[in-house]
Structure 1
């Protein structure tokens, strides 16, 4: 297990995303872009949303300016256009590497951080709390993906945190 709980949570986030990509690659390719009456119009759009959110929050954690973060959002949106499932998986992998580089080089994951949002104002929080937010956001939307996959007539994949814990205990 990772030494700081926030690192373990982020590891779970990556694990759960990888489980979903593995399951999606087992399903018929046409479901990836198929229009669905759901929270998001397709599985692709849901993955795009998770990716954009993760991109934004990495910039926030790195204490980048809002201008830099908004520029990264625009770059992310451009990079997501018409991506195949495999290309999306690579984007998620690369982003997780950027997170891990940042998190593993951060000496204090409980340090105070004060991001400023143009609409909501300043937030006094800890870096580890923002990591928890990224994980919660991903978990919420993987739930959307599960519902969408079931709606299309297929089974999904269990990504509850406890399954991560079981799998990690088997690897010891």
Structure 2
């Protein structure tokens, strides 16, 4: 395995770690807090979580030649914990995809009348940075709710923890 692939595997592992840390915090909150309307890109914490899960699942399905399939999330009727578990499972599946596939392979798809050809590595990078962006929004949403005991999810914190494990 070349070092570039290892970097993407590391980022996939970091993504899981950061998601798990924020999920652990969110799991301690009442559903009313998680669904409270808040000023942000999405109107609640749970809508933001659904968006994050949808992006990971959509890109993973597209790279697996299943199209942009996020019906599981669109039609979701489970509990909050079930949603967190689904998101965690998708993040794990995404990491497994990164491990097993040639990241130089081109993903080809049409969207809104345009044709795209994007290497899997760029899709992976997009998914991971997108997760960082929205986890940051989740932190700000938690602060709007008056919650200040929020875990670190920064990449450098993950690196430091890996050095001590």
Post-superposition offset of 1:29: 4.3
Q: Decide whether the 8 Å contact of 1:114 with 1:122 is kept in 2.
A: no
RMSD: 2.1
Q: CA offset at residue 91 of structure 1?
A: 0.3
Alpha carbons 1:13, 1:135 under 8 Å: kept = yes
> In structure 2, how many angstroms separate the alpha carbons of the residues matched to 1:14 and 1:115?
26
Aligned mate of 2:109, from 102, 108, 116 = 116
Partner in structure 1 of residue 94 of structure 2:
99
Structure 1 spans left out of the alignment, 5+ residues: none
Q: 1:160 to 1:169 in 2, by over 3 A?
A: same
Q: Map residues 58-73 of structure 1 onto 2, 5 A cutoff.
A: 58-62=60-64, 64=65, 68-70=66-68, 72-73=69-70
Structure 2 SS opposite 1:114: strand
C-alpha contact (below 8 Å) 1:36/1:148 kept by paired residues: yes
Deviation sequence 1:130-154 (CA, Å, 0-9, x none)? 1110001111111111110000101
Matches within 5 A, 1:1-172: 4-62=6-64, 64=65, 68-70=66-68, 72-79=69-76, 81=77, 83-106=78-101, 108-109=102-103, 111-119=104-112, 121-155=114-148, 156-171=150-165
Q: Distance in 1 between matches of 2:9 and 2:105?
A: 17
Report runs of 4+ in structure 1 exceeding 4 Å deviation.
none
- Unpaired runs of 5+ in structure 2? none
Rounded Cα–Cα distance in structure 1 between residues aligned with 2:49 and 2:89:
15
* Offset of residue 3 of structure 1: 6.0
1:117 and 1:170 map into 2 onto residues whose CA distance is 45
Deviations 1:43-63 (CA, angstroms, capped at 9, x unpaired): 11000000111111102222x
TM-score (norm 1): 0.84
What is the TM-score of this pair, normalised by structure 2? 0.87
Deviation by residue 1:7-49 (Cα, 9 ceiling, x = unmatched) = 1111111111000011112334431111212221111100000
1:68-95 deviation per Cα after TM superposition (whole angstroms, max 9, x unaligned)? 424x22233112x3x4331122101221
